[in-house]
Amino acid sequence: MTRMCWGAGLTTEAADGTTLDCWYRWFDWGEFGDDEMVKNYPDIDERLGMRERHDPLRNVTIRPIRITIDVDEAPGSAADAYLRLHLLSSRMAPPHSLNVTGIFTALNNVVWTDLGPVAVPEIDDVRLRVEQETNGIVHVHGVDKFPRMLDYVVPSGVRIADASRVRLGAHLAEGTVVMHEGFCNFNAGTLGTSMVEGRISAGVVVGDGSDIGGGASSQGTLSGGGTEVISVGERCLLGANAGTGISLGDDCVVEAGLYVTAATPVLTPDGVVKAREISGISGVLFIRAGQTGQVIARPRTKSWGELNSALHAND
């Protein structure tokens, strides 16, 4: 199966031709220039134009870009990778629905500044030019391959307290709130109304009505060659400073301060098993015995409550 997607916008290139970023003002399924695209977006070429411009302060060139990609093939360029990240953050594609194999190789390391992206070898010269020509300073937000999502895509119906905590490529459903210490990586995110005060690692998806508590975390798939995709079901609660390295079904709770990894010995009604053996089961309460330290999994019969609807009406 082949799925094509097109994008049109602006790309920033360093003096050596390296692609620093791409911002797609328009993108959709299909191929650029096909009948459907021309009918739905008749004025793209007029608005985007063909002219490039040079930014002497950053020593970069900003060029119009028009591209068509096959999202079932691995990214073939930085421009290709950026279009996939736009699709995820705009909610046109859910996590794990696009081929992102090798995306770290496709993207380039960039200095992200208040002036825009800068090539890493150029940053000191850029600082000097800004000081000399504007009597100002360059504010550096970070050095990374992924920019902040909100600098490229602002999805409707969400609140994000700190833009630096959400990478481009994160998928945040309507009703999601990401508080100041919350974090969401690329190809990961929420599928419904959620409170995020902890960490949603790469590849992790969180179901509707769930709460990732302050300092809580979910084990991602990037480090150590991990391949299992961790998911948190609907109406779950990861307590403050808790964590999970297994999937949680619906209506699960992990008590505050408890990190359940795949190899954690867990006492269940049927005996002690490794946590991976009960991965994805719904209606489980994970607690630690105060006197022995034994991790216990109990069937849940009560609700932990629910999200405050007033906090998630993000109009």
Largest CA distance in the chain: 72
Query: Distance between CA atoms of 299 and 102, rounded to whole angstroms?
Result: 41
Tracing tokens 């050095």 back to the chain, one arrives at 143
What burial class does residue 84 get, using C-beta atoms within 10 Å of its C-beta: 0-12 exposed, 13-18 middle, 19+ buried?
A: buried
Query: Distance between CA atoms of 282 and 180, rounded to whole angstroms?
Result: 29
Amino acid sitting at position 135 = N
- The answer to whether 197 is a known catalytic residue is yes
Report CA 151 to chain centroid distance, whole Å.
Answer: 13
What are the residues facing 67 on neighbouring strands?
7
Query: Distance between CA atoms of 158 and 174, rounded to whole angstroms?
Result: 6
Which CA distances in Å does 7 have to 26, 80, 159, 233, 242?
6, 9, 26, 33, 40
- Which contacts (CB < 8 Å, 24+ apart) does range 299-305 have? 299/269, 300/251, 300/252, 300/253, 303/235, 303/251, 304/237, 304/253
Distance from the first to the final alpha carbon of the chain: 38
Question: How is the beta sheet containing 210-212 ordered, strand by strand?
Answer: 159-160, 177-178, 194-196, 210-212, 237-238, 253-254, 284-288, 295-299, 265-268, 271-274
Query: Distance between CA atoms of 299 and 142, rounded to whole angstroms?
Result: 44
Length of the chain: 315
3-state SS class at 288: strand
- Among 13, 122, 197, 234, the active-site one is 197
List residues with catalytic annotation: 197
